[in-house]
């Protein structure tokens, strides 16, 4: 049973929940849309933290301590991408959190492979998982880490859907494999020093395979 006590963090600027977006099931493993899952899995493995299915939170959850010794939650929603907000809202309500304490990690077609970009807030930018989270939280004011997956082929039938649900070509896969540990390092910095410092260090970085 999850602890019902509110998460006590003396610095509200630091994330208290890290959410990786993706779709559950082996058919979606290592697809472009599941980069958020991969990053949170890698983050949890290095902590280490066990990601355990939790029906209350509609996802796999890891419950650890932040670098400051406060409770820190890792979350991978099992609701499928378009309903990600259900899981995020469940965690926010249970632990009585401000939405600004939630850091969301997700794929972004507007960024090339090899680029990361933190933002303090903003619109969904067409991403259905982010649309769901914004709808359920009732605000755009929460930080996010966008992970570049490159643009879709507009001439391909169902180009966007095929792109995000497809797997990376071999060379792009090598580059993503290099991106994931950098993204984990970026999240660690964000958890220690806040989103602004992570933005300053990582938003202009080009990561090569």
In a domain, 6, yes or no: no
Domain that holds residue 169: 17-202
In a domain, 4, yes or no: no
- Give the pLDDT score at 7: 47
Model confidence band, residue 151 (pLDDT cutoffs 50, 70, 90)? confident
In a domain, 37, yes or no: yes
Q: What's the rounded mean pLDDT across residues 87-93?
A: 98
In a domain, 65, yes or no: yes
Global pTM?
0.91
pLDDT at 91 over 90: yes
- Residue 106: give its domain's CATH number: 3.40.50.1470
Q: What's the rounded mean pLDDT across residues 62-85?
A: 95
- Give the pLDDT score at 104: 98
Q: Give the chain's domain count.
A: 1
In a domain, 36, yes or no: yes
- Give the pLDDT score at 13: 75
- Give the pLDDT score at 203: 97
Q: Could you please report the per-residue DSSP string of the chain?
A: ----SPP--S-TTS-SEEEE----SGGGTTBGGGHHHHHHHHHHHHTT---EEETTTTEEEEEEE-TTSSEEEEEEESS-GGGHHHHHHHHHHHTT--GGGEEEEEEETTS-TTBEEEESS---TT-HHHHHHHHHHT-S-S-EEEEE-----TTSTTHHHHHHHSBPPHHHHHHHHHHHHHHHHHHHHHHHH-HHHHHHHHTT-B---
In a domain, 9, yes or no: no
In a domain, 113, yes or no: yes
- Give the pLDDT score at 160: 80
In a domain, 12, yes or no: no
Residues serving a catalytic function are: 33
């Amino acid at each position: 049973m999850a602890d019902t006590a509110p998460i006590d963090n003396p610095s509200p600027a630091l994330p208290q929940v890290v959410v990786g977006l993706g779709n559950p099931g082996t058919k979606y493993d290592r697809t472009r849309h599941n980069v958020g899952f991969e990053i949170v899995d890698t983050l949890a493995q290095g902590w280490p933290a066990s990601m355990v299915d939790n029906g209350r939170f509609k996802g796999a959850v890891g419950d650890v301590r932040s670098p400051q010794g406060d409770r820190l939650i890792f979350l991978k929603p099992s609701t499928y991408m378009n309903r990600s907000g259900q899981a995020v809202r469940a965690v926010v309500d249970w632990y009585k959190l401000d939405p600004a304490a939630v850091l969301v990690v997700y794929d972004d077609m507007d960024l090339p492979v090899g680029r990361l970009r933190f933002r303090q807030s903003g619109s969904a930018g067409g991403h259905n998982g982010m649309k769901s989270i914004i709808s359920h939280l009732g605000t755009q004011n929460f930080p996010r880490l966008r992970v570049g997956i490159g643009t879709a082929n507009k001439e391909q039938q169902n180009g966007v859907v095929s792109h995000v649900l497809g797997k990376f070509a071999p060379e792009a896969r090598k580059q993503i494999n290099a991106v994931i540990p950098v993204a984990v390092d970026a999240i660690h910095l964000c958890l220690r020093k806040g989103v602004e410092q992570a933005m300053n260090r990582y938003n202009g970085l080009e990561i090569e395979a």
